[in-house]
Structure 1
Amino acid sequence: MAIRLPPVHALSAFEAAARLGSFAVAAEELCITPSAFSHRIRLLEEFVGERLFLRDGRSVSLTEFGRRYLDVVRDALRSLADFPLPHRSSPTHPRVKITVPPTFARYLFLPNITEFTDANPDITIETFLSVPLYDMSLSETDVEVRFGVGNYPDLVTEKLFEEPVFPVASPEYAKQMGLEKPGDLKNATLLRSALEPWQPWFNAAGLDWPEPSMGLRIDDLGLLLEAVRHGYGVGLTRSHFARDMIRNGDLVPLFDVALTTPQHAYYLVYERGVRERPEVDAMLNWMMARFNTQRLS
């Protein structure tokens, strides 16, 4: 019969919280976010079927069951730690886990990340993708880049940059539809995205039009540009995404109207205390220096 064992990462979280008397301090010691740490404790409590801690504000104390269970857990962890491993590799490098939106990753993060890794060869970067406007928790990553309105309660939020929004089309489509002034869009197919709504740009262009409700919708700004490049219609974009396609002649900017203060911008989001880890602090400082409007222009 298979033996059902508790997750080791939950046991180590339990031992750290019992020793330090604080979930927040224990999370810092284990280099994970407080929300991820709380998830591990809940996972272990569900496994054992008993409460392990009494919560009192920011401090925690063990229940009677928790005190008895701690002795067992410490013995098990000590046995694992003390077991000789003659071929064990050297200690792991410091690492930073970062979550970024797909288009930001494709057009900005990956083309520039070697600048950071060359300057910090001892830091390992682990990159994850998130869907803008949908994934709203830090999970177990250290840093997130979010594309949104910048209102993220209980998290440190720093604006990376924002850029004007303007419409683009393929040269063939622009010529075919005779797109010479903003009003000519009434005969065009407008590609939609929750990330770049049309109505704010309509207002900037002096068009009293409602938000389009029909037609192709793509909630990935990189895929939206690909649809524009294939001649499916007109889409809204920003220069750091469309710059190469415009330079190569795959896209043409339309008219001379740009939305200078778009609804959404890019933000660095992280939990308080994460900057105390030197590798995370280095990553945050590099991103703020690298991805500002001046460096992107």
Structure 2
Amino acid sequence: MQIPFRSIIVFHAVARAGSVSRAAEELRVTPSAVSQQIQALELHLGTALTLKVGRNITLTEAGERYFQMVGREIEHIADVTQHVRGIRSATTLTVRAAPSVSSKWLLPRLHSFVDANPDIELRLDGTNEPTDFSKENVDIEIRHGEGVWPGLFIEGLGKERFFPLCSPALLPAASITAADLPEQRLIHSVKSQMQWPRWFAEAGVEPERRWHRVLFDRSHMAIDAAASGMGIALESELLAWRELADGSLIRPVRDAPEVMVATQWIVCPHNHLRHRKTRTFLDWLRAERERSLEPDDFRRSHKVAPSEI
């Protein structure tokens, strides 16, 4: 029996892309040619593999099973073919993350992912707008928000501890109380999930008057402003870990309440988890998340005194 290898390759492309048109673009053929190959494979197998949902394609139960069985073999054949040709197989992974988490959390760590995965070409898209995965070529996103986006795979990057932070040139560590804060210049990150009024409520403080504010559109700007001595920012140790580690930021408030919120989320369509490059990056993110949220490891790695964490 002749095996319809061409149709299998086309099916694999459609299953990965979730769209006939995107698969056609990748294969450099017409969408009608792709549809014909899928129909031929379904006729050969005697079962439906795909269903049309709007402009996209979803797999039937048989299609899911078939994709799982052939997917890794096709990727292996592609890798072996590139190796025999003497060309290092390279795959592009596009990651989108908001500017603050990109510059403050991802960039200082990315060298370990790049070093461990030389076959993956990484593209980091530092954009604050949520990805429309049906139209944009983004594999995985770290998204800021409340974690409610129906139809997508969602996993928290981790709960963040929020503290007032400032330069040691402005105030010594643990030198004031929460009630003293309204007398200081307070830095606001206007798009943050954690705002000063909420933190004051957790601390049991009711400011008697409006405090002096400086507002920034992004957390990374608020962190840099605080490190420069402009005022006191309310930020998480997840984003400010490097400044805490090198001593450019300290915690000026003694006995501050521990306020924890999840604000950063790993997001992608469920079918992207089939791709080796996405799974590899997700596993790396999970490992980095565990390291970054472990206080003892944080102190040992960055030589930070317990009083500063």
- Name the TM-score, length of structure 1 as normaliser: 0.65
Deviations 1:152-175 (A, max 9, x none): 122111111122100012223226
- Report 1:202-281 matches (<5 A): 202-209=200-207, 215-255=213-253, 256-262=255-261, 264-281=262-279
Q: Match of 2:256, as an amino acid?
A: V
1:147-198 per-position Cα deviation (integer Å, ceiling 9, x unaligned): 21111122111111122100012223226xx961111112111111121311
Structure 1: gaps spanning 5 or more residues? 1-15, 38-54, 62-88
Q: Percent identity?
A: 20
- Cα distance in 1 between the residues matched to 2:158 and 2:54: 35
Contact 1:164 1:258 in 2 (8 A): no
| Amino acid in structure 2 at the alignment position of 1:174 | L
* Structure 2 partner of 1:191: 187
1:283 offset after TM fit, Å? 1.2
Q: Deviation of residue 284 (structure 1)?
A: 1.3
Specify the alignment match of 1:68 in structure 2: none
State the partner residue of 1:94: 91
SS state of the match for residue 170, structure 2? helix
Other-structure match for 1:149:
146
- 2-side partners of 1:257 and 1:31: how far apart? 55
- Look up the equivalent residue of 1:286 and give its one-letter code: W
Question: Given residue 158 of structure 1, which amino acid in structure 2 is its aligned partner?
Answer: E
What does 1:19-34 correspond to in 2, within 5 Å? 24-26=18-20, 29=23
1:225 and 1:56, CA in 2 relative to 1: closer, same or farther beyond 3 A?
Answer: closer
**Secondary structure, in 3 states, of the residue corresponding to 1:217?**
strand
RMSD of Structure 2 on Structure 1 (CA)? 3.8
Q: CA deviation at 1:223?
A: 1.3
1:243-296 alpha-carbon deviations (Å, 9 max, x no partner)? 34334432220222144322x421100012111111111111211222232387
Report how many aligned residue pairs link the two structures: 229
Who is 2:166 aligned against? Answer: 169
For 2:40, the equivalent position in structure 1 comes to: none
**Cα distance change, pair 203–95 in 1 and its aligned pair in 2 (3 A):** same
Cα distance, 1:123–1:187 mapped onto 2, change above 3 Å: same
Is the Cα contact below 8 Å between 1:160 and 1:291 reproduced in 2?
A: yes
Shift of residue 236 of structure 1? 0.8
Q: Structure 1 residues 22, 121: closer, same or farther in 2, change over 3 A?
A: closer
Alpha-carbon shift at residue 92 of structure 1 (Å): 6.0
Contact conserved, 2:19 with 2:55, CA < 8 A, in 1?
Answer: no
Deviates more, 1:243-252 or 1:117-126: 243-252
Q: Please tell me the residue identity of whatever aligns with 1:190.
A: L
State the 1:98 CA deviation: 0.4
Runs of 5+ unmatched residues, structure 2: 1-9, 32-50, 58-85, 299-309
Partner of residue 119 from structure 1, selected from 116, 121, 134: 116
> Match for 1:149: what amino acid?
E
Match of 1:180 in 2: 176
SS of residue matched to 2:226? helix
Does residue 1:285 correspond to 2:283, yes or no?
yes
The 3 A distance-change label for structure 1 pair 27 and 235 is farther
Query: Do the aligned residues in 1 keep the contact of 2:97 with 2:143 (CA within 8 Å)?
Result: yes
Please say if residues 16 and 275 of structure 2, whose CA atoms lie closer than 8 Å, have aligned partners that are also in contact. no
